[in-house]
Structure 1
Amino acid sequence: MTAPPASRQSALDRLTANAPFLARLAEINPGDVARFLDEGTDAALARVAPPAPGDDIMRGLRQWRGRIALLLALGDLSGEHDVAATTRHLTAFADTACDAALAAAFAERVPDEAPRGLAVIALGKLGSHELNYSSDIDPILIFDPATLPRRSRDDPDEAAVRIARRMVEILSARTADGHVLRVDLRLRPHPEVTPIVLPESTAISYYESQALAWEQAAFIRSRASAGDRALGERFLAAIQPFIWRRSLDFRQLREIGAMSDRIRDHFAQGQALGPGYDLKRGRGGIREIEFFAQVHQLIYGGRDPSLRVPATVDALAALARAGRVAPDVAERLTDHYAVLRRIEHRLQMVEDQQTHSLPVQPAALDGVARLDGLADGAALLAALEPVVADVGAVYDRLVAERAAPGGLPRDDGELAAALAAAGFDPPDAALRTIAEWRSGKLRALRSPAALEALETALPELVGALGASPDPDATLRRFDTLVSGLPSAINFFHLLAAQPALARVATRILSLAPTLADALAARVELIEGLIDKRAFEAPMDKDGLLAEWAPGLAGLDYERLLDRVRDRVGERRFAYGVQLIAGSADPLVAARGYADLAEAALQVLADATVAEFVAAHGRVPDSELVVLALGRLGGRALTHASDLDLIYLFTGDHLAESDGPRPLGATTYYNRLAQRVTAALSVPTAAGKLYDVDTRLRPQGAQGPLVVTVDSFERYQREEAWTWEHMALLRARPVYGSDDARAAVARVVAEVLASPHDPGDVARDAAGMRDKIAAHKPPAGPLDIKGGPGGLVDLEFAMQVAQLAGGRCHDPRIGEALACLTAAGLAPEGIGAAHDLLARMLVMLRLTAPAGEPPAAAARQLVASACGEPGWPQLLAAHDAARQEVADWWASIRPPQQEKQG
C-alpha cells in the first residue's frame, strides 16, 4: 500500500519533531528520505541492500540497520505498513543480519569453508516474526560437531563457542555507528553454567528430560531463523513431543497457572493505565494477550496441529476457528494487540530504547502522542483506556477459570500423581515424608490442630518445594526443620495465610545453608518477613535505635538481652533473604550488617554499664570507649562476621569508683568489658548474637583487656608493631560519648600520620603476610580472603600504601582505595576488583559457608548479585580481580621477601 504524498510528509514532520533518534538517521540518509517521499516505503526499501561479503561487516551492518530503521518507521507512521508488516520486515532484517554476522565469523575463523553446522533457533518475537522496533533477540545456538568447519587443532566445542561469540560481538557491540541487535542468550538451558552454543545432542537430551514449563511455552514461538537451517529444523523436529504434548497433566496445568500469576505478581509497577504504564507487562497489556493465546495453545495444541502457529494474531485466529476461543474475543484481542504494539513502537522510535513504559513526564508523553498523530498525552491515554480495560477483563476470566484446587489427595496413587505434577520425580521420598507428617508421630504434629494446620498449608507448600532446584533435598531440609519444632501449628497456619512465605522458605532451604540453619534454630524468623520493612533498604544505626527504643524500654537486663537478640536475628535474617531474593546489593547489605551490629553494641553496652554502675558506681571523670577494627571498623560485615573490638577507658587508671562496692579503675573497666563481651556473645534462650575478638588490643592476648586511652596512645607510638598500625587503619570508635570518641579518633589519626619508613613497612607487612599464609592456607580457589590476590592481599597492599604514603586513612576500604587511586598510589582498577571480591564474600558466606563452591542452584544467584550474567563470567571476573590485586601486592612487597620457586 502506498500512502498519499501528504501522509508521507506528515510522517516525516512528526518523526523529525518527536523522535530524535530517527531525526538523526534522516539527516544521515537524505537520499532514503527523498525516495520515500517520492516513491513510498517499499520502493525505498528495495534500494537498501545489506553489506556484501568482504565489506567492513561491523560498519556495514550498522549503517544498513540505520537505513532500515528509518524507512520502516516512515512506513509505519505514514500508514503504508501496518503493525504486522512492520514486525515482519524487522524480523526479516534480524534474520539476514544474523546470517551475515555468522558468515563473517566463519570467514574470520575458517576462511576457506562455507558456513555450516551452527544454527540459530529464534525464540520469542523473533521466532514468531513479531520483532519489536528496538527489541533484543532471544536465540538459542546449537551446533553439530560432525559438520562444523574448524581449524585442524580446534576442539569442536571451543571452535563453536569462538564463532558464536564473534557473531554476537558483530551484532551487539556498540560502535560509533551504533549497534545492530542486542542478543540475549539466557534462554538456553542452564545459562549460568553452559557455554553459549550447545551440541545438538546435548540440547535434545535436555529438552526431552529436564526442561521446565516456561521453556515449553517459549518454544511455541520457535523456528530455525539463521545459520544452518537444516540443522535447526532437524533439532526442532526432534523436540516436537516436548513442545506439543498430547496429554496435559496436573503438573503442566499448575505450572501454566504459575506462569500466568507471575505476569502480574512480578510486575507491580506500571500496572494501572496512566503515565508510566507498562504496555508490555501492565494489567491489560501486550503480555496478557500473548499469554492468553499461549495458554490455550499449550492446552489444546498437543492434539490439534492447526493451533501450532507462532504469531500471536495467527494463534488467536486459529483458536477461534477451532472453537477454543470465542470469535468475538479473538477479534477484539487482535485489534487491541495491534493498538498496543503500535504505541510500543512509538515509544521505541523516540531514542531507540528497549522500553515499554509510557513516559511519566507530561511533555514526553505528549511527544509520543504527537508521533502517533494524536493531539497530546491525554488523547493517547483516552485511546488506550478501553483497550487495556477489555484485555484485563478477558485475562481475569482466564485466571479465574484455572483457579487452583483445594487440599492434597490422601489416596496414595492420587497423591503420587500430585507430587509428580509439583516437581517430585520420582515422588516416592516425598510420599514417605508426607505420610510421616500425617501420621502425627512428629512432636510438632501430634495434636489434631497441628495436623489440620498442616493440611491447610500442604498444597502451597508442596508447590513451593517442588518448584525448588532440588525438590527432594529441599524437602529433606524442610523435614529436619519441622522435626525440630516443639509445635508446628502457628508455622503451618502462617504458611497457609502467607503463601509467599512458603516460596521464601524453600528458596532459603535450597540456596542458603546459613539462613537454613538460622531458620531451623528459630523458625519464627520467617514471621519477620511479613513486615514490609523486612525488604526495605537497611537502616543506619540511628534509625535502628529509634525503631527499637519503644520495645526495649523498661525491660530488665536478661529480657533485654533476649529482645536484642530477637531484633538483630530478625533483621540479619531479613538482610540475608534480600540477598537470596536478589533484591539487595551485597555491599549495601554489608553496611547494613555493620550498622546492625553497632546498634546492638550501643544498646547492650548502655544496659551493661547501667547494671554495673548500680553495683559499683562510676569512676569519676572516666568512661568506657569501644574501638572497632576489622570489618566492623570498616563498616562492612558479612552475615557471619565476628566483631574485632578494643576496649579503652578515659581518665586516671589510679582512680576508684564511687558505688556501694567500689573498684579500682583498671579492675572496674576490665570487669565491665568482660560483661559487655558476654552481653554480645553469650547464647541466651533467644540464641547467639556475635563472636567477639579482642586480640588486637595492645600486647594482644597477653595484655590487659582494657587500658586507658593514654596507655593506648603511648603503646601505639612507642611499642606497636607495624602490623598493629596496619590494623589501626580500619579503626573506628563506635561507643562512648562524642568527646571520648573524638579523643580516641584523634589518637588514631595522629599515630597513623606519624612518619613510617616505606621500606620497613613493606618488609614487615610481607613477613606478616607470609606468617598468615603458613598458619592459615587458603581453603580453596573460592577462598575470597586468603590465597594470592584475595582480600587479605588487597588489604595488606592498601595498608602499606596508606602508611608509607601518610594519607587516605579512611577505615572504609572502598573510600580508602578511591583516595589512593586519586593520589596515584593504587592502580586504577583496584576499586572495582575490591567491590567484586567483597560482593562475592558476602554472598558466599550465605550460600557456601564452608568455603566450597556454592551448589549449582545458587551459582546464578551469586553471579547476578556480583553484576555478572552467569557463573562462568563471574569466575572469569573473579580471576581477573585477583590478578589485579596480586599484581599490586607484588609491586609493593620487597623482592627479597618474595617466595622462590
Structure 2
Amino acid sequence: MPKPANRQAATIGHERWLEQAESAAERNGDQTLLAFARDISADPAARALLDALFGNSPFLTECIIKDIGFARLLFQHGVEQGFATALAGSDAAEGTPDMKGLMRGLRIAKRQAALSIALADITGQWTLAQVTAALTELAERSLEAGCNHLLRAMAAIGKLPLVDPENPTRGSGLVILGMGKLGARELNYSSDIDLIVLYDDECPHYADMRDALRQPMVKLTQDLVKIIEERTPDGYVFRTDLRLRPDPGATPVAISVAAAEAYYTSVGQNWERAAMIKARPVAGDIAAGDRFLSHLAPYIWRKHLDFAAIQDIHSIKRQIAAHKGGKTVAVLGHNVKLGRGGIREIEFFAQTQQLIWGGRIPDLRLSDTNGALDALVRAERILPAVAEAMKSAYRFLRDVEHRLQMIDDSQTQTLPKDEAGIERLAIFLGYDNADGFKRDLLHHLHTVETHYGELFEESPSLTVDGAETRGNLVFTGGENDPDTLETLAAMGYQDPDRVASLVRGWHHGRYRATRSERARQILTELMPSLLLALSRAGSPDTAFLRFDQFLSKLPAGVQLFSLFHLNPKLLEAVAQVMGGAPFLAEQLSRRPGLLESLLTEPDVAALQSGAALEGDLTQALHHAADFQDVLDIVRRWNNDRRFLIGLQILAGRLDADTAGPLLSRVAETTIRALLPPVLEDFARQHGAAPGHEGMAGGMAVVALGKLGGQELTIGSDLDLVFLYDAPLDAMSDGPRPLSAVQYYARLGQRLITALTVQTGEGDVYPVDMRLRPSGKTGPIASSLESFAKYYADSAWTWEFMALTRARMVAGPDAMAARVQATICAALCRRHDPAKLVVDVADMRARIAREKPGKILWDVKLGRGGLVDAEFIAQYLQLRHAADEPEVLHQNTTEAFARLAAAGHLAAGHAETLDRATRLWRRLQGLLRIAVGETAFDEATATEDQKAALVRAGEAIDFARLKQNIEATAAGVHLLFQELIDRPAQTAAQETPK
C-alpha cells in the first residue's frame, strides 16, 4: 500500500471522513454509516488504504468523502461490486426523462466508477489491462446511454425515425467510432475519449430525408458531447475530442459514411491509417460501424504498400535524432506519453510495423498495443526480448500516467518539475523514495528510446549546415506534439502552435498542391529542410506565413516539391525571398511561375534598354482583348520585371543604386503603355482630348521624386504631376463632352486608378499627387499656363526643391519641349539667396523634429543621410540655375557633378556627397527588399541579411559597415552645416525683422 506523501493531508482527510460520516448519518437517519466509518478508521489495514488516498490524491479524497454510502459498499463487497453498481447507474440514467437528469446520473456513475477503479489499481487487485478495460466499458456505456436518449428525443419531435424504439441505436445508421485508447480498450485514468461520429444516409428509413439528415445528426453529436463533457456541479463524464475525424478544420462534427469513405480513400494520410488501426464502433449502430470499417480495410491494410510511403509512415513520429542515445532523457518535467522514450513511441513502434506488414499478415491487425507486440513476435518481425522489454516499459509508464492523473483528475502525462513533486509521485507509486523510481523510470525510457531509434535509424536527420540537430518534427493527429513545438521554438519561430497547425493542414490536403499522396510524401521529406530554411529569415513566422500563402496558390505540388528535393539551393532561394523580400514574396505567391526566375539568369541588358522594354510590353499587350486585360497584362509584366531586378539585388549581382535606373525605366514604360488605352477608354464617352488649335490634345505625365531622378527602389511610390496644354474653354467632342479642366482632371484620375487599382494580378504602384501645384487642394491636372503662373507667383521654396527632379515620362511628343521649357523656366527663376538658404534650413529642421531618424539604418531621414544630401543638391541648383541652367539635373549625383564642374561645389565636397548618396541608395534599396517599410533591427537580423548589407555597403564586415555609415553621415552633416545651416544662421541674423 502506498504511504501518504503528505501526512498532514492524511490527518485532515481522516477528520473530514468522520465529520462527513456523522453528517450523512444524521441526514439519512442511518447511524450504521457512522459506525462503519469509525470501524474503518480504527482498522489498521483499512486506515492504511485511506492514508494512501488522503495523503496522495485530493481528487480521490473528495470522491470517497462525498459518497460514504458507496464507500461502505466498496469496503464490504469489493471493487468488482462497486464497479458493477456504477455501470448499473450509468444504464439507469438513460431512462431519465430529461437531459439534465441523464447528465447527473452519468456523472454520479463516473465518480463511483473512478473510485472503484482507483482502489482496484492502487491495491493491486486489478492488472493494467483490467483497469483500462473498466475505464473503456464505462465510456461505452455512457456513450450508448447518451445516444439512446438523444435518438428517442429526436424521434419524439419528428426529426429522426427509429427502426426499433425499444433499442433506438439498432439500425439507426448513427456510428460512434472510438479511436485511440478508447478503440483499443486502453483508456487511461483521466483520459479524454477520441470519437468520430458518422451517419449512414443510405439507411432505407432515411430515404425521404437524406438531404436534410446532416443538420439533426450534427445537433445530436453536439448534444452528445455536452452530455459527456460539460462540467456541472456533479462533475463531468469524459472529456471528448472529435479532431480525429476527416479534416477537422473543414468538416462538421458529424459526417456521412460516404463522405468519410471518399476522404480516406482519396486524401487519407498514413498517420490516419495508423489511427484507424485502433478504430472500433463503441456506441450507436454497431453493425453499421463494422460495415464502414470493413469497407475501409483495404485502405488501412494495403497488401502492396508503396515503400516510398514508408518514409511518410516514419513521419508519424518523426524522431530526427533517431540513433541510440540521440537526446538526454530527463526526469523533471518529462512527458511520459509524448516525450522521448514515452508511451507514444511504444504505440508507434507497433503501429508503424503493423501498417507496413499488416496488409500481408492478417494476424497483425490488432488494436491493443501489447497484443500487437506479441503478434509482431509471432510474425518474426521483432525479437521476443524486444517485445517483453517494450511491454514492461508500457506497463510501468501507464502506471505512472495513472498515478499522475489520480492526484487531481487532470489529463496530464507530465512529471513534476521539482524534486519534491517527484518524491511525492514516487511515494504514491509505492516507492520509499524518489531514487528507486528515477532509476526504474530512466531504465524504461532509455529502453524504449533505444528500440524505437533502431526502428527509425534510417530516417533522415535534421541538419543545419551539416551539423545534426536534436528534436522532433511531428505533424500528425489532432494535437500539437510538445517536443515539436520546442523544436520549432528553438529554430526561432515565435508562434510554433500556429506553424504546426498550418503544416497539419498541408498534410490534410487542404491545398490543391498537397492533395495527392505522392505530394504529401515528398513534402514530408522536405519538411525539416523547409522549416530550417525559413527559420533563417529575420522573422521566421512571417517567412513561414508567406510560404503558406505561396503554397495555397499552387495548382499542383509534386513537380515543385520534387524540384525542391533535387535542388536544395532552390529551396534556400525561395526561403530567402519569403524571409528577406516582402515585395518579392508577394509576387511569388501571386505568380508561382516566377520560380523559373530563380533557376535562370535574367537578361539584365534587356532591362537597361528602354526600347527593348517598350517592345516587350507592346508585344504582350497584343493579346489584350479589352481594357481589363490591359490592366492585368501590364501588372504581370511590371511585377515580373521588378521581381527579376529584386532577385538580382537580393543575390548581390546588382546593387540597388545601379538598379534605380532599371526600375525607373520599368515604371516609365508602364506609364507610357497605360496612358493610351486609358485615354482611348475615356474617349469612348467623352471624345478626343481637347487641345490648342493645330495640335493634338493630350496629357503629359511628369515624374518627380525618385522616379524623376531615376532612383526608384523596390516598393517606391510614384510622385506624379499631370499637365495639359489647352484653352480653358476648349471642349471634348464625345457623346458626353467635357471642358478641358474637367476632361484632364478625370483623365488623370483614370490613369491613377489604372496604376493603383487591385486586380487579380495585384496593383502596380502607389501614386502620390501631393507635389502638384497647391498640393492636396489643387486640381488633379494643371494647364501648362496655370502651372507656370503658380511657380511664378505662389510656389513655396520646398516646391521649387521638389521641382528640381521633375522629368516628363509620358505624353504627346509635341508637348515635351513646352513642358521641359516650362519646368526649366520655373527652376531658373532668381531667388533671394538669404531667403532661399533660410527656407531650406528651416524645412530640414522641421523634418528633423517631426520625423527624427537614427542614421545607422534610417539612411533617408537620419542626419547626414539621403535627405541632407538631396537638400544640398537642390539648394545649390536653385541658387545658381538662374545664371547657369546647366547645373540642373533630376538625378542627385549627376547634379553634384554639374555643380562641381560649374565651380559651385568643391571637388572634394562633391566626391564626398556623391559617394555618400550612392551608399545611401544602395543600403535603402536593399533594406526596402529585405524588411519592406518596417525598421531594420540588427538584433533580430539574420546573418544572410547582414551579409547582404555588408555587400551593399562595400565593407569588410558588419562592424566596419556600421563605422562607415556613421563616418559617412558625419561628413555629409558637416557639409550640410557648412553649406546651409551656418549661412542660414548668418542670413537670419542679418535680415531685418
Q: Normalising by structure 2, what TM-score?
A: 0.46
1:783-802 to 2 correspondences below 5 Å: 783-802=858-877
Q: Deviations over 1:88-118 (max 9, x none)?
A: xxxxxxxxxxxxxxxxxxxxxxxxxxxxxxx
Which residue in 1 is equivalent to 2:679? 609
Alignment partner of 1:776 out of 828, 841, 851: 851
Q: From the superposition, tell whether residues 423 and 518 of structure 1 become closer, same or farther in structure 2 (CA, over 3 Å).
A: farther
Deviation at 1:514, TM superposition (A): 4.2
C-alpha contact 1:460 1:502 (8 A) present in aligned 2: no
Matched, 1:761 2:836: yes
Q: From the superposition, tell whether residues 674 and 876 of structure 1 become closer, same or farther in structure 2 (CA, over 3 Å).
A: same
Q: Which amino acid aligns with 1:561?
A: L
Q: Deviations over 1:687-730 (max 9, x none)?
A: 12111011111111111111111111111122211111111100
Q: From the superposition, tell whether residues 581 and 450 of structure 1 become closer, same or farther in structure 2 (CA, over 3 Å).
A: farther
Deviation at 1:853, TM superposition (A): 3.3
C-alpha contact 2:513 2:558 (8 A) present in aligned 1: no
Matched, 1:505 2:588: no
Q: Which amino acid aligns with 2:961?
A: L
Deviation at 1:478, TM superposition (A): 3.5
C-alpha contact 2:860 2:867 (8 A) present in aligned 1: yes
Matched, 1:579 2:662: no
Deviation at 1:736, TM superposition (A): 0.9
Which residue in 1 is equivalent to 2:562? 496
Alignment partner of 2:731 out of 644, 652, 656: 656
C-alpha contact 1:761 1:804 (8 A) present in aligned 2: yes
Cα distance in 2, alignment partners of residues 852 and 472 from structure 1: 10
Q: Secondary structure at the match of 1:548?
A: helix
Q: Secondary structure at the match of 2:639?
A: helix
Deviation at 1:815, TM superposition (A): 0.8
Q: Which amino acid aligns with 1:822?
A: A
Q: Which amino acid aligns with 1:856?
A: T
Q: From the superposition, tell whether residues 765 and 466 of structure 1 become closer, same or farther in structure 2 (CA, over 3 Å).
A: same
Q: Deviations over 1:538-568 (max 9, x none)?
A: 3333221211222211431112111211111
Matched, 1:646 2:721: yes
1:701-780 to 2 correspondences below 5 Å: 701-778=776-853
Alignment partner of 1:562 out of 623, 632, 636: 632
Q: From the superposition, tell whether residues 736 and 476 of structure 1 become closer, same or farther in structure 2 (CA, over 3 Å).
A: closer
Which residue in 1 is equivalent to 2:660? 590
Q: Secondary structure at the match of 1:635?
A: coil
Alignment partner of 2:461 out of 401, 413, 417: 417
Deviation at 1:469, TM superposition (A): 7.2
1:764-843 to 2 correspondences below 5 Å: 764-778=839-853, 781-806=856-881, 807=884, 808-826=887-905, 827=909, 828-843=911-926
Q: Which amino acid aligns with 2:645?
A: Y
Cα distance in 2, alignment partners of residues 623 and 761 from structure 1: 35
Deviation at 1:647, TM superposition (A): 0.6
Which residue in 2 is equivalent to 1:337? none
Q: From the superposition, tell whether residues 617 and 878 of structure 1 become closer, same or farther in structure 2 (CA, over 3 Å).
A: same
Matched, 1:847 2:948: no
C-alpha contact 1:648 1:707 (8 A) present in aligned 2: yes
C-alpha contact 2:537 2:942 (8 A) present in aligned 1: no
Deviation at 1:415, TM superposition (A): 4.1
RMSD across aligned positions (CA):
3.3
Cα distance in 1, alignment partners of residues 524 and 603 from structure 2: 25
Q: Deviations over 1:169-219 (max 9, x none)?
A: xxxxxxxxxxxxxxxxxxxxxxxxxxxxxxxxxxxxxxxxxxxxxxxxxxx
Deviation at 1:509, TM superposition (A): 2.8
Cα distance in 2, alignment partners of residues 472 and 751 from structure 1: 47
Which residue in 2 is equivalent to 1:26? none
Q: From the superposition, tell whether residues 759 and 411 of structure 1 become closer, same or farther in structure 2 (CA, over 3 Å).
A: farther
Q: From the superposition, tell whether residues 483 and 694 of structure 1 become closer, same or farther in structure 2 (CA, over 3 Å).
A: closer
Deviation at 1:455, TM superposition (A): 3.5
C-alpha contact 1:648 1:706 (8 A) present in aligned 2: yes
Alignment partner of 2:547 out of 478, 481, 506: 481
Alignment partner of 2:774 out of 699, 711, 715: 699
Alignment partner of 1:890 out of 958, 962, 977: 977
Q: Which amino acid aligns with 2:647?
A: V
Cα distance in 1, alignment partners of residues 849 and 671 from structure 2: 34
Q: From the superposition, tell whether residues 775 and 448 of structure 1 become closer, same or farther in structure 2 (CA, over 3 Å).
A: closer
Q: Secondary structure at the match of 2:607?
A: coil
Q: From the superposition, tell whether residues 691 and 479 of structure 1 become closer, same or farther in structure 2 (CA, over 3 Å).
A: closer
1:258-297 to 2 correspondences below 5 Å: none
Deviation at 1:639, TM superposition (A): 0.5
Alignment partner of 2:968 out of 881, 885, 888: 881
1:202-221 to 2 correspondences below 5 Å: none
Which residue in 1 is equivalent to 2:612? 543
C-alpha contact 2:698 2:811 (8 A) present in aligned 1: yes
C-alpha contact 1:698 1:712 (8 A) present in aligned 2: yes
Q: Deviations over 1:109-138 (max 9, x none)?
A: xxxxxxxxxxxxxxxxxxxxxxxxxxxxxx
Q: From the superposition, tell whether residues 458 and 503 of structure 1 become closer, same or farther in structure 2 (CA, over 3 Å).
A: farther
Structure 1 unaligned runs (5+)? 1-248, 252-408
Which residue in 2 is equivalent to 1:519? 588
C-alpha contact 2:808 2:820 (8 A) present in aligned 1: yes
Q: From the superposition, tell whether residues 483 and 721 of structure 1 become closer, same or farther in structure 2 (CA, over 3 Å).
A: closer
Q: Which amino acid aligns with 2:572?
A: R
Cα distance in 1, alignment partners of residues 977 and 777 from structure 2: 33
Deviation at 1:672, TM superposition (A): 0.5
Cα distance in 2, alignment partners of residues 424 and 709 from structure 1: 69
Deviation at 1:581, TM superposition (A): 0.8
C-alpha contact 1:802 1:809 (8 A) present in aligned 2: yes
Q: Secondary structure at the match of 1:829?
A: helix
Cα distance in 1, alignment partners of residues 535 and 506 from structure 2: 28
Deviation at 1:741, TM superposition (A): 1.6
Q: Which amino acid aligns with 2:677?
A: A
Q: Deviations over 1:761-799 (max 9, x none)?
A: 101111222222233222664111102111111111111
Which residue in 2 is equivalent to 1:352? none
Q: Secondary structure at the match of 1:893?
A: helix
Which residue in 2 is equivalent to 1:189? none
Q: From the superposition, tell whether residues 738 and 489 of structure 1 become closer, same or farther in structure 2 (CA, over 3 Å).
A: closer
Aligned identity (percent) is: 30
Q: Secondary structure at the match of 2:461?
A: helix
Q: Deviations over 1:492-550 (max 9, x none)?
A: 52353473532310222343344334434554443444554366673333221211222
Q: Which amino acid aligns with 2:705?
A: G
Q: Secondary structure at the match of 1:490?
A: coil
C-alpha contact 1:696 1:724 (8 A) present in aligned 2: yes
Q: Secondary structure at the match of 1:426?
A: coil
1:108-123 to 2 correspondences below 5 Å: none
Q: Deviations over 1:638-673 (max 9, x none)?
A: 101100000111121210001121111110110110
Q: From the superposition, tell whether residues 493 and 479 of structure 1 become closer, same or farther in structure 2 (CA, over 3 Å).
A: farther
Deviation at 1:835, TM superposition (A): 0.8
Cα distance in 1, alignment partners of residues 761 and 512 from structure 2: 25
Deviation at 1:427, TM superposition (A): 3.8
Cα distance in 2, alignment partners of residues 628 and 465 from structure 1: 43
Deviation at 1:831, TM superposition (A): 0.8
Q: Deviations over 1:334-387 (max 9, x none)?
A: xxxxxxxxxxxxxxxxxxxxxxxxxxxxxxxxxxxxxxxxxxxxxxxxxxxxxx
Q: From the superposition, tell whether residues 788 and 833 of structure 1 become closer, same or farther in structure 2 (CA, over 3 Å).
A: same
Q: From the superposition, tell whether residues 487 and 757 of structure 1 become closer, same or farther in structure 2 (CA, over 3 Å).
A: closer
Cα distance in 1, alignment partners of residues 978 and 877 from structure 2: 15
Q: From the superposition, tell whether residues 833 and 483 of structure 1 become closer, same or farther in structure 2 (CA, over 3 Å).
A: closer
Structure 2 unaligned runs (5+)? 1-320, 324-452, 476-483, 485-498, 989-993
Q: Which amino acid aligns with 1:425?
A: T
Cα distance in 2, alignment partners of residues 558 and 411 from structure 1: 59
Matched, 1:631 2:728: no
Q: From the superposition, tell whether residues 443 and 707 of structure 1 become closer, same or farther in structure 2 (CA, over 3 Å).
A: farther
Which residue in 2 is equivalent to 1:859? 946
Q: From the superposition, tell whether residues 538 and 875 of structure 1 become closer, same or farther in structure 2 (CA, over 3 Å).
A: farther
Deviation at 1:605, TM superposition (A): 1.5
Q: Deviations over 1:26-46 (max 9, x none)?
A: xxxxxxxxxxxxxxxxxxxxx
**Larger radius of gyration between Structure 1 and Structure 2:** 2
